[in-house]
Amino acid sequence: MARHLFGTDGIRGRVGQAPMTAEFALRLASAAARVLAPAGGRVLIGKDTRVSGYMFEAALEAGFVAAGMDVLLVGPLPTPGIAYLTHTLGADLGVVISASHNPYDDNGIKFFDREGAKLPDRVEEEIEARLEEPAITRESGELGRAKRVESALEQYQQFCASTVPADLRLDGLKVVIDCSHGAAYKVAPRVLSQLGAEIVPIGCSPNGRNINDGCGSTHPELLQLTTRGVRADLGIALDGDGDRLLMVDHEGAIVDGDQLLYILATAWQDSGALRGPVVGTLMSNFGLERALRERGIDFRRAQVGDRYVLEMLKASGGTLGGETSGHLLCLDRTTTGDGLVSALQVLDVVKRSGRTLAELSRGMPRFPQKLVNVRVERRVDPRQSPPIQSAVAAAEQALGSRGRIVLRASGTEPVIRVMVEGEDGDEVARLADSLAAEVRAAAAA
């Protein structure tokens, strides 16, 4: 079997178009119940703030109840909060209704197992296979029940606060928090205030249609302007479902996922808390690799996608990893990427070190990087093309140890991604354009 509907982070698409319809959501719930809880059990359902979340919540609830499962509804809550509560409340599976950083007219559905971990590929494949079967409707005496968990927000809030030392206080820190009008709009400001920070909230007024609209981790311009304008110490941006983190320093300069990994890795090395290698991806900036190497910290690269970072961390005994986009994993704190938990770890370092975010990130200079997406008419494997490999070898020789090159075929569109990075921005641009031309020529041959 192969997955056709499930991507690297659940099922996602435009609302009203296949597969994101109410009818599909009901069948998906029935298929998931067959695979993950054939004898019945409990399922926890959460969502972000999209208006379509009401529809999918109702459809999933109906599908699970009809299949004999009890449903716990927690309403808008960050994706990592659903993972945490699934395990804490003893549910057999957790469901998140969210399209993460996508616009409001998209939505998605993803699952967690009873431990709060994402499902392996083979389980997603089995769920897809059961979608061909009619939805289950049990007899009245075997139907499940549904209820709302009123304490969900408070439980997750307490968990987030527990991931930093009990004596941590953020008094004296002025923080701008941008929740992208998404799932963290209540819990993130509350946690920061509880710890003593003076907060300036933006992106915390969802109306069902403004999620990720000109705000959050994918649109940090408002955060940059606000942080400078109110003279805050730093700014925090989450995405629509609260699993990604981007920060800005007091001058409004962006501190991305690579720099945040550097800050945490070096601080944890100094305190003796760092375990195993730090794991990034093929697209992590070369500046991160070099800066960690200079500190004697092992750095490894996984395929693009947080699930592959997670796999490598588990295989290597590491606890810290992530992507440039800010999807960070602190596995000694939680089971999945959590933007708020990651932000708290960085704030702990800022407060205890007495240094600004700008000072802490300065140890990892970002190398100039250029990415060219080459659209091709036919699929080309860059590794099997002698002209491309010859051009890559020449470019790598020119860069030496001062940079690196990545060529990879997109898994979702007819595109070859050509990425070059190094110390010299002009050289990087020249080599990237040259390699892109070779890929176009090879594809046209």
The encoded tokens of residue 77 equal 């809550």
Q: What is the CA radius of gyration of the chain?
A: 23
How far is Cα of residue 338 from the mean position of the Cα atoms in its chain? Answer: 8
30, 52, 100, 342: which is the annotated catalytic residue? 100
DSSP notation for 150-198: TTHHHHHHHHHHHTS-TT---TT-EEEEE-TTSTTTTHHHHHHHHTT-E
Q: 238-251 burial, b if ≥16 CB within 10 A, otherwise e?
A: bbbbbbbbbbbbbe
Q: Which of 403, 410, 399 is nearest to 439 (CA)?
A: 410
Q: Is 361 a catalytic residue?
A: no
Show the tokens assigned to 285.
């900036």
CB distance 144 to 202 below 8 Å: no
Rounded distance between C-alpha atoms, residue 116 and residue 82, angstroms: 8
Helices (H), 200-317: 221-229, 257-271, 286-294, 306-316
Distance CA 377, CA 359 (A): 47
Q: How far apart are alpha carbons 210 and 306 in whole angstroms?
A: 26
Query: What's the CA gap between 270 and 395, in Å, rounded?
Result: 37
Give the three-class secondary structure for 280. strand
Half-sphere exposure at residue 240, Cβ-oriented, CA atoms within 13 angstroms? 29
Q: Tell me how crowded residue 1 is: count the other CB atoms within 10 A of its CB.
A: 10
Active site residues: 100
